[in-house]
Structure 1
């Protein structure tokens, strides 16, 4: 075999292998391979010089030593991601990260309770594995409402840029393949939901088109797939497209993370499908028992979660119902009752014609009325303008009822305003009366809730002893938001707004304005998804979403890790309203269930209740006399399903938070030193962890730096990057004295000294015999290091690259 020829490429700052020389356009050109990037290049021959002329600097020694030392600590269990100032993992997050790093492949369900930072945990696992070279490409499958949060958290905390693909981002059918164009993607499974039909296409063409879109995302070569709110996917039946896509994605991807606070919905088939995304043995009949489930699930409960000092993470919470009397707003009460009658008429018409989707739009009118006169007036005017022929009724989502529940109130309102359809028999007359009432109510002054809100604000200023106490106000609808902003401005109260039409940057600016100067933030549900506002602790729910879990999510914007005050939530309703009655029933039934099952089952209870709440609200509107009967049925079914779901706790081991076990400051310092040293070499990095990437390899015949350490023996310190499986990265150091055996004690000491900067005394090039002795010992110790860390009896020979060779003289 021909001897490999090495040379020095100053432009790259490392040795390169010269494959040959050629003549091109009258110029001599060398064909080379750059080891750190494995790129094969053709460069002018005069840019490649003899290896013997290369000179070391103190900064280069420091960079390579610190970078490899960080990799070595990472291989011993220290997370690299904690080197970022923006990453401070809590004990339970760190424990889950360490557990994931010990798995190969990583196929894990992170099932921490709501509010414990599952997004951060999953992001840390991906970023850590990427830094270690185990993954590169990832797709996050997440509901639309949390996609912006994923993009923001991954960028702000981990320096990872994720791209949204689908209707809210890069279109799937944009003419390029977005799945292969980007290495890190956030999307919905519905982004590639199959078409049902297309004008001019045959069924065969539609089927082929759907199959191609399906395979495009599955076959894109992902290293990791993360499925957020995975219980929704698994809760679908076997033939639902989103479930089939999730199954294929999980099967085609080596590493899989599932995120869910409520993986067990109370239905054993759905739980099997959930587990089957990690290990398909569960859908093939594997027993669902502790021994089979626990190895695949990480679970932390709120009551056990602590911070780095061992203190409880969450503050107490108080929720208060504020009922606003109509007093002199009799016209508003009349309008409320008239709208309720209109809704009943519209629902009956929808039911007669078998058009459930149109019934959903009519029911939305009730929620708009409960929100504000401004909201219902705007909706009635839109509906009046959209009326078509007599004899039929409003039409939308004819075959897509399942989509309606996934929309926020803001999105449902938009659908209502864009809907076109003919009136039912009596609608024109009802609308005429309603419009007249609504206009009179708007002209008669502020809504009933407005007075109640300003009274509450005064109470809060006194009880909090803070005239500028910050208040987060939630509403479902933009017209109500606009009305509130006008009233607050007129009252001289600084307020800002967030809603679903705003970009991520605009929301961030509003959030910062709320933190720094505004007293009130008025947010819609769509706008509030994914924002963290723990610097405030008071939430006012101006109107009420029908889902208890969505109400919980609102309060969760302030009831988060880092909150230092008691969280206070206030629900505003008008007297004698459907909302007041339903909320009273819901609170009473849920309190009984939680008392029976325990407060630690809150997540399971709310998830089960959310699936049944619509029935409670609908009955209260359409059949008030039947509400008690419906409430009993609601409580019975919710309790039964929650009890079944609560058995999940018996199948898993709670994550044991390890407080104080990790020393993130040590690895953080090494990464900082490596980044600064690389910057001194004229190669700055945007991300400090990039200083650990693409380390140059030393070559035979390359001059080595000489350092003087009076207390040490004369010898050679070699530092090796090791890759036991071709992916994961670690490092080890070997000090070989000129006389005697290898000295492990001096290896670590000298390695640390090089990390902190050490003056260079000279250069020396090892002869062939010395080089061979050094490399033989290095590979041997690399194997031993991997065997010690992995604890496996059967190991293949690891990859070992010499990253730094230092001559040590006394």
Structure 2
């Protein structure tokens, strides 16, 4: 039936868990399909709708919306709507049931339909389908699904945070690891796991404009996640398809300014995202007039991740107000927050004495920022290179107003000499403004013919990306990248180990951000930091304060901003008067730095370390990832899949394959497989060593599509094979059935965590005896062989009626099995959810950081799962007939 009509019933080819859908609108180029089983509605393009027409056949069983079943005797059709004529199963009364009255909770038996139609697949396709069913069930049951395919080294602190946060019902946290520890990686892991498990569907990422492309590339390269960049032009185009442009995509990246621009802020509020990520969150200014729009958006989205390596960069009160975005009830009074911080040392001592992990969870959850803030420190993780500071004092100079400043500045001569002496080494130079970057670029070009790469806010995103690539190129790239202050955030240059500071910021956190562009995970060499400065300059004033007062160049400086707040007036005055800082101020800085550092180490740092990473738990996560990755099995499965579906694959070396669509590919496309092909690997280390190689895991969209194709489509669902067993009479036949228990539920309920795909195998001989406990599938596979299509059709025609009777008998056994399975699932789910709900209720009595919405989310999930388990579907997924011909 080529024309879509209102009332017709369809199954989603890509989301079979939605149940049976009904077309509610069919106008022009678009279709609206409602899926009552899950309460969801989908809008499709009529030309490309991934829908399969649901039409029962004679002798099949149907189910009415009122719950009773009937057996079909005849079909009629009028204006595109099919009407079924048959007998009710309970009283044999004649009934007439239009397809519009079918229950959305019906058994889906494509294998039976194909069997009755005389259609059969090759033996190897049937076997691959059975393998896929096992693999999909295993993946759904995995406690680390979504973390298997991360293209990174498996670092304990990152994985602990990722799983802990991703598994919360409505995560609202501040990811505040020190610079270079991988907050973006942690956020990507959280997103990937939540999308994989269904806990989140609509994700919005907000980043500084300069980082939009970097996030887009990192999400694709490291996590196989496809996001869409929305700028003004893209939003305007999307408005042609929807009143709200942000409803046209599920996964979106925008620049920070979109949150408070009146043109787009209201549309963002109404777009119903369920997870919001804000990078460089220290830029959120509570005192700014546009902050109210940011606050409204944060309140509208149930899941919120704020990312910043320097949470107190704008002061302690600013940090507190950003915590309020996460939980305004918990963080309602700044004075109380400060008072609580004063007792962190006693709390840390108490926490260190706790040996039971559950008791430690309770203690940390009840106090401080335990539930909302994760901060790992380099000192706790270890393994970072050393920093070496090289201050270079130069002569004073007076600028000539008639000449460019760089013609006389001694720093230019030093810079030229440094580039000349370090021809084989690249250097990153950071200064305050874009104007300085342009002047320095001109100076290097005019004075030495050096073509410097530049990076500043006056460039477009594309220009910045090209410039960064020009700098990174080993063959003909620039020896130096000149960055304005925007280069001190987000961009990663760990392939460089020389940093040149052309000036010093007054904010210590900003200095740490600059150094962190090089000193981060992945850096293989010690960091050399150069500061050329002139006598009497602002840098000459600030240098002793940074170096002597807090040793800020050679170690991470977590309390720098707090020190600046203590001496800001004196520092600003000294700079204004161009006078050196007093020896007394330097000593006071040094003493306060020592005192506060010790205070933090004994209190806040210990508490945050206990919360940010539990090494034993993290190691268990890593072990689980290694077990569930099962790369050898995955490689065998995917290579077999390529062979069966006409995808060309060529072995490049022991760990890499090149795959591309073949001329006779059996499917139109596969997610992630371009027409010109790609290089793939199943090995994580190989993927890290070869940037141009895709890392395939059980999480990868291409693998998931292969599993979905083989378990939800008809491929391999029916098979006729030949046995050659001399111990069995010739002509003996067997019927192998695979039933699947399917429970449609909203994705957000994450039902698969309690109820992964489950299947029942039954094996009957021609006399109706059930033999599955005595004869394994593996044993049959060893004896089975291919049979040609013509012979297969003859066998199906001959055995159609007795096979149908056995299938009917098997269905009752399968229903009994399903009922038993789901009763246990229901009990396990209720026990787990009620335990978690009770835990949070108990915590809430002592700590308001446990939000009521978290508890309500558990209650919602419990109701959805309970309701779904009352409406299960039983699907005959695969049928194999084996005939002995010995």
What 5-or-longer segments of structure 1 have no aligned partner? Answer: 39-47, 195-209, 306-311, 327-332, 336-433, 462-466
Distance 1:619 1:173 in 2: 52
Distance 1:88 1:304 in 2: 18
Counterpart position of 1:769: 809
Distance 2:314 2:568 in 1: 19
Q: Determine helix, strand or coil for the equivalent of 1:261.
A: coil
Q: Determine helix, strand or coil for the equivalent of 2:398.
A: helix
Matched, 1:83 2:39: no
- Contact 2:145–2:197 under 8 Å retained in 1: no
> How far 1:189 moved relative to its partner?
5.7
> Where in structure 2 are the equivalents of 1:148-167 lying within 5 Å?
148-165=213-230
Counterpart position of 2:667: 682
Counterpart position of 2:378: 302
> How far 1:569 moved relative to its partner?
1.1
Matched, 1:435 2:505: no
Counterpart among 286, 290, 298 of residue 364 in structure 2 = 290
Counterpart among 611, 614, 620 of residue 656 in structure 1 = 614
Q: Determine helix, strand or coil for the equivalent of 2:558.
A: helix
Distance 1:696 1:150, change over 3 A: same
Deviations 1:723-753 (A, max 9, x none): 6764324333433455679869979x899x9
Matched, 1:66 2:66: no
Counterpart position of 2:855: none
- Contact 2:494–2:519 under 8 Å retained in 1: yes
Deviations 1:254-275 (A, max 9, x none): 3232333355679876666544
Q: Determine helix, strand or coil for the equivalent of 1:563.
A: coil
Counterpart position of 2:453: 496
- Contact 2:507–2:561 under 8 Å retained in 1: no
Counterpart position of 2:55: 18
Q: Determine helix, strand or coil for the equivalent of 2:393.
A: strand
> Where in structure 2 are the equivalents of 1:666-677 lying within 5 Å?
666=630, 669=635, 672=638, 676=642
Deviations 1:46-79 (A, max 9, x none): xx99962443354576367437624532432133
State the TM-score, normalized to the length of structure 1: 0.65
> How far 1:494 moved relative to its partner?
6.1
- Name which structure has the greater RCO, CA cutoff 8 Å, separation 6+: 1
- Contact 2:201–2:250 under 8 Å retained in 1: yes
- Contact 1:722–1:782 under 8 Å retained in 2: no
Distance 1:706 1:173, change over 3 A: closer
- Contact 2:244–2:271 under 8 Å retained in 1: no
> How far 1:573 moved relative to its partner?
0.9
Distance 1:684 1:671, change over 3 A: farther
> Where in structure 2 are the equivalents of 1:95-114 lying within 5 Å?
95-114=160-179
- Contact 2:456–2:483 under 8 Å retained in 1: yes
Counterpart among 210, 220, 224 of residue 271 in structure 2 = 220
Q: Report the RMSD for the aligned CA atoms in angstroms.
A: 5.2
Q: Determine helix, strand or coil for the equivalent of 1:322.
A: strand
Deviations 1:70-90 (A, max 9, x none): 453243213335336x45543
> Where in structure 2 are the equivalents of 1:10-49 lying within 5 Å?
16-18=53-55
> Where in structure 2 are the equivalents of 1:379-418 lying within 5 Å?
none
Distance 1:108 1:741 in 2: 54
Distance 2:233 2:51 in 1: 44
Matched, 1:692 2:742: no
Deviations 1:545-592 (A, max 9, x none): 44332332222222221111111111111123222122222322223x
Distance 1:549 1:447 in 2: 27
Counterpart position of 1:805: 878
Counterpart among 499, 504, 517 of residue 539 in structure 1 = 499
> How far 1:484 moved relative to its partner?
4.2
- Contact 1:707–1:808 under 8 Å retained in 2: yes
Distance 1:807 1:494 in 2: 69
Q: Determine helix, strand or coil for the equivalent of 1:294.
A: coil
Distance 2:322 2:713 in 1: 51
- Contact 2:504–2:511 under 8 Å retained in 1: yes
Distance 1:580 1:134, change over 3 A: same
> How far 1:130 moved relative to its partner?
1.6
- Contact 1:495–1:519 under 8 Å retained in 2: yes
> Where in structure 2 are the equivalents of 1:449-598 lying within 5 Å?
449-457=411-419, 461=422, 467-485=423-441, 488=444, 491=448, 495-513=452-470, 514-517=472-475, 518=477, 520-525=479-484, 526-527=486-487, 529-591=489-551
Distance 2:482 2:513 in 1: 13
Distance 2:12 2:257 in 1: 53
- Contact 1:497–1:523 under 8 Å retained in 2: yes
> Where in structure 2 are the equivalents of 1:622-771 lying within 5 Å?
622-625=576-579, 627-628=581-582, 647-652=603-608, 653-657=611-615, 658-659=618-619, 660-661=622-623, 662-663=625-626, 665-666=629-630, 669=635, 672=638, 676=642, 680-687=665-672, 688-689=700-701, 691-692=703-704, 704-705=718-719, 715-720=736-741, 726-727=747-748, 728=750, 729=752, 730-738=756-764, 767-771=807-811
State the TM-score, normalized to the length of structure 2: 0.60
Distance 1:264 1:50 in 2: 67
Counterpart among 608, 611, 619 of residue 562 in structure 2 = 608
Distance 1:590 1:81, change over 3 A: same
Q: Determine helix, strand or coil for the equivalent of 2:545.
A: helix
Deviations 1:242-285 (A, max 9, x none): 55444433443232323333556798766665444444430468
Deviations 1:104-162 (A, max 9, x none): 23334333222111112112211222233332211223344544432332233334344
What 5-or-longer segments of structure 2 have no aligned partner? Answer: 1-7, 14-47, 57-74, 85-97, 106-112, 341-362, 648-664, 673-699, 726-733, 797-802, 835-861
- Contact 1:475–1:542 under 8 Å retained in 2: yes
- Contact 2:537–2:578 under 8 Å retained in 1: no
Distance 1:529 1:785, change over 3 A: same
Distance 1:157 1:779 in 2: 41
Counterpart position of 1:181: 248
Distance 1:268 1:6, change over 3 A: closer
> How far 1:167 moved relative to its partner?
6.9
- Contact 1:475–1:522 under 8 Å retained in 2: no
Distance 1:477 1:614, change over 3 A: farther
Distance 1:68 1:147, change over 3 A: farther
Distance 2:370 2:161 in 1: 13
